[in-house]
Structure formats: structure tokens, C-alpha cells
Amino acid sequence: MRALIQRVAEASVTVDARIVGQIGPGLLILVCAMPGDDDALAKTLALKVSKLRIFHDAAGKMNLSLQQTGGSALVVSQFTLAADTSRGNRPGFSGAAPPDAANALYLRFAQALRDLDIPVETGRFGADMKVALINDGPVTIWLDTQAP
């Protein structure tokens, strides 16, 4: 699985002019399931995200995790994280998991965060979503379970 994580002051997802997910301070997590990913990887990624020390402590150092700060997560499915741009100018997305498997893993990832006592809001899988955020820092981190 791949995830692009942004520390945010606030974030929301709108579908058809209605907010479907909204958080205050925490993480906006754009997540993409890849072929061969499974529930164990979704849980592993959720645990990594929950413990990532990217929030400021009292001394102003990035030393606290989402779990420690009590922040929330807004999880948004984004198959375009699987983009292959190695040929031409039009990205290919065949590296993303098929929709049924991707949706199941997206939901499993969100549930794994909830199981870690993190408040979670989500977007809507497969919808045309408008994502709004105020990036805090900015802090943006790429995670890939297949990375060396």
C-alpha cells in the first residue's frame, strides 16, 4: 500500500456539494492499494502512521505521534498514487489494485486506525471528491509498504 500523509490543521472531503468527512488537527491520509496488498499490510501501514512522530512537543520538536496528540485522521482513497509516468505524458494506473480489492483495503486501513483509538473520517471510494486542507508545517510524508 502507498500513502501520502499530510499533517493538517484541518481537512475535509466534499462529494456532490456535501461534506462527507471533516477533521480538525491531525493527518490527511491519501491511500492507494496495490496488487498483492492484503489486510496485514493495511494493519501494518495503519500502525506505522499512528506512531509516526511528526507532531510538535512542548519544545517545538517533531517528537509526538498522532496517538499521543489525540488528533484525527481523514482517510481518502487515491488510486493515482499508483501512477506510472515512465512512458509518455499520460500516466498509467494499471499498478493500482482492482476497485473491489482496493475498496476493501481502504476500508480495512481506516478500521485499523480506529482500532488504535484514532478518530477517523473518510472520503467516498470512487467518488469525484473535493479535498480541502490547511497543511500544517507543511509536513508531507510518503509511505510505501513495498519500499526497501
Q: Which residues are catalytic?
A: 78-80
Beta bridge mates, 74: 28, 121
C-alpha cell belonging to residue 98: 482492482
C-alpha atoms less than 13 angstroms from C-alpha of 139 in its C-beta half-sphere: 18
Q: Which of 36, 25, 30, 12 is nearest to 125 (CA)?
A: 30
Half-sphere exposure of 125 toward its Cβ, with a 13 Å CA cutoff? 16
Q: Which amino acid is at 27?
A: L
Contact, 122 vs 22, CB < 8 A? Answer: no
